[in-house]
Structure formats: C-alpha cells, structure tokens
Amino acid sequence: MIRRLSILLAWLCLSGQAAALDFQAIGKVAATPERLSGEFHQIKYLSTLDTEIDSSGHFQYERNQQIRWLTEQPIQSETTITPDSLSMQQDGQEVMRLGGDSQPAVRILSHILFSVLTADWQALAQYFSIDGTVDGTNWDVTLTPKTDDLKSVVTHIDLDGARYLQHIELHEASGDRIRIRFDKLQP
C-alpha cells in the first residue's frame, strides 16, 4: 500500500513538471534581457521549388529598440527590424525599407516578427493563442494566429528554449517555412 502511494505521489510530482502554460507562465521561465547577441542558423524551405536555402550569421538586439540581423552566408547583408519597420542593406547600400507609417500591415508584421525574435510574450498575446509545456527550465510553445487575416499569412509558429529562445519554426500559409536555431547567446 505504501509502495502504491509512493508511486502515485511520484507520478503526480512528475506530471506537474510538464504543465500547460499561458503567456504569463512562459514569461516567468523564458528570460528576455535588455540586450542579447549570438549566432543564428536559418533554413528557409520554399514549397513551390521544393528546396531549402541555408543562411547563417550573427544577431544582436536591444529590447524595444531594434534587432540587427547580420547574415554572413551565403551572401552578406544586414537587416534591421524595429517594432514598426524593416530595412535591409547590402554592400553598405540600403536595398529595402518598409515603414509602418505608410503601410499599417508592415507595422503589424514587423511588430509580430520583432516580438517573436525577442520573446515579447505580452505583445504576442495580442495576435496569437498559445499551447505548450514547461518542464523544469525547458519550454516549448506553439503560437496560433487569432485572426483570419493573420492566418492567411502564418498558420502557426513553434518556439522552444530554456532560459532564452533557442529555436523558431514559422509555418507560412503558402507552405513555406523558416527554421532558426540560436547559439552562443550572450546577454
């Protein structure tokens, strides 16, 4: 009898470790420091061509300010993302700028992308429902868009990590997807 109670107690303790979470709960286990830098490896799958494109480089972000995405392979470029704009440079020349002032859709998509990359859970709660688990310091979540407009672009986003976000997999409605792995993270 005591053995059965011990087994039941152990099972209850273990099952509590992998608890369902909400945005507030994930915010307690996933840190979002003021600054973070590191390396990334990105794979973009293009469904119409049935091919993958690999890229890698470094990134750095400042919370609520900007993300600098420095792609080193296969070509060098710098993308700067703010909560309401995107710009890209190659060879020191700006080749693209999308601003939220004149394009409200850009502001929303830039805000979502910025929020995903910086694990801004409060901002993400505006656009997505969350499902996932936390097991000790490890966590994984799936974000599902709340609106049909957003669903027409993104079907869902899978995120996982420990203290910091370590992997992103963004599934586009077109069938394309982007996988990003972060390494050598430094606050």
Give whole-number Cα distances, 141 to 29, 57, 128, 133, in Å.
12, 25, 11, 7
Q: Count CA within 13 A, CB hemisphere, residue 117.
A: 31
Q: Is residue 168 part of a domain?
A: yes
Identify whether 152 is part of a domain. yes
User: Tokens 């307690």 appear where?
Assistant: 28
| Rounded Cα–Cα distance for residues 34 and 55 (Å) | 26
Say if 28 falls within a structural domain.
yes
| Residue at 2 is within a domain | no
| 61 within some domain | yes
pLDDT on residue 117 = 76
User: Can you give the pLDDT of all 187 residues of the chain as single tens digits?
Assistant: 333 323 223 333 333 344 456 777 777 777 778 899 999 999 999 999 999 999 999 999 888 888 899 999 999 999 998 887 888 999 889 898 887 676 676 677 777 877 887 778 888 888 999 899 888 888 899 999 999 988 998 999 999 998 888 999 999 999 999 999 999 999 8
**What's the rounded Cα separation, in Å, for the pair 45 and 1?**
55
- Looking at the 3D structure of the chain, how many domains does it have? 1
Is residue 77 a part of any domain in this protein?
Answer: yes
Residue 80 contacts residue 67 (beta carbons within 8 Å): yes
Q: Return the pLDDT at 158.
A: 95
Q: For 56-61, which contacts have Cβ atoms below 8 Å and span 24 or more sequence positions?
A: 59/117, 59/182, 60/35, 60/36, 61/35, 61/36, 61/37, 61/117, 61/118
The answer to whether the peptide bond before residue 74 is cis (omega within 30 degrees of 0) is: yes
Q: Tell me what pLDDT residue 18 has.
A: 43
In a domain? residue 84: yes
Domain that holds residue 178: 20-186
Residue 9 lies in a domain: no
CATH of the domain at 71: 2.50.20.10
